[in-house]
A and B are shown apart, each in its own frame.
Chain A
Amino acid sequence: MGDIIGGVTGYSTWATLRQAAGTNNPDTPPLVTGDYNREYPSGNYFLKTTEGNGLIRTGGFFRPGAGFTLLKSNPESVGIFYCGGFVEPDNETILDKAVSMTDGSFDIEPEAFTDGQYVGTDPKLPFTGVELFDFLT
Chain B
Amino acid sequence: MSIQPGVGYTFTSSSQGTNLNIEKPWAPWTTYATTEDPGHPFKIVNVQIVTSGGSQVVRYQVQSGTLNNLVPVLDDHASGTTVKLDRVTSGVPNPPTAQLDPAQYNGTTKTSYIYLRAGPKPSAPFDYPFNDVSNERYPAVGGYNGESTPDTDIFSYLKIGSIAVDSISAPTVFTVTQFVNGSLWADRIKLGTETARYYYARI
Chain A residues packing against B (C-beta within 8 Å):
5-6, 8, 11-16, 18, 20, 32-43, 46, 48, 53-55, 136-137
Question: Are B201 and A13 in contact (CB-based, < 8 A)?
Answer: yes
Kindly report which residue of chain B lies nearest to residue A15, judged by CB atoms: B187
Kindly report which residue of chain A lies nearest to residue B153, judged by CB atoms: A39
Give Cα A19–Cα B121 distance, bound, in whole angstroms: 21
The size bracket of the interface on B is 20 to 34
Min Cβ gap A132→B in Å is: 15
Min Cβ gap B82→A in Å is: 22
Knowing A12-B185, A34-B125, A35-B127 are in contact, say whether A54-B120 is a contact too (CB < 8 A): no
Kindly report which residue of chain B lies nearest to residue A16, judged by CB atoms: B187
Give Cα A5–Cα B201 distance, bound, in whole angstroms: 9
Q: Which of B176-203 contact A (CB under 8 A)?
A: 185-194, 196-197, 199-201, 203
Give Cα A20–Cα B192 distance, bound, in whole angstroms: 10
Question: Which of B121, B129, B189 counts the most A-chain CB atoms under 10 A from its CB?
Answer: B189
Give Cα A62–Cα B199 distance, bound, in whole angstroms: 20
Give Cα A40–Cα B120 distance, bound, in whole angstroms: 15
Knowing A12-B185, A13-B185, A15-B187 are in contact, say whether A37-B126 is a contact too (CB < 8 A): yes
Determine the chain A residues whose CB is within 8 A of the CB of B120 once the complex forms: 34, 37
Q: Which of B89-132 contact A (CB under 8 A)?
A: 120-121, 124-129
Give Cα A16–Cα B186 distance, bound, in whole angstroms: 11
Give Cα A130–Cα B199 distance, bound, in whole angstroms: 27
Question: Of B69, B187, B192, B193, which is within 8 A of A37 by CB?
Answer: B187
Knowing A12-B186, A39-B196, A40-B190 are in contact, say whether A6-B203 is a contact too (CB < 8 A): yes
Give Cα A11–Cα B187 distance, bound, in whole angstroms: 6
Min Cβ gap A73→B in Å is: 32
Min Cβ gap B152→A in Å is: 14
Question: Which of A20, A32, A38 counts the most B-chain CB atoms under 10 A from its CB?
Answer: A38
Kindly report which residue of chain B lies nearest to residue A35, judged by CB atoms: B127
Question: Are A37 and B127 in contact (CB-based, < 8 A)?
Answer: yes
Determine the chain A residues whose CB is within 8 A of the CB of B69 once the complex forms: 8
Give Cα A41–Cα B190 distance, bound, in whole angstroms: 8
Q: Can you list 10 residue pairs at the A/B interface with Cβ under 8 Å?
A: A5-B185, A12-B68, A13-B185, A18-B189, A36-B127, A37-B128, A39-B126, A43-B192, A53-B197, A55-B191
Of all A-B residue pairs in the complex, the 9 with the closest CB atoms, nearest first, are: A14-B199, A136-B192, A34-B126, A37-B128, A12-B185, A34-B127, A15-B187, A42-B192, A34-B125
Min Cβ gap B121→A in Å is: 6
Give Cα A132–Cα B184 distance, bound, in whole angstroms: 33
A interface footprint on B62-89 (CB within 8 Å = 1, 0 otherwise): 0000001100000000000000000000
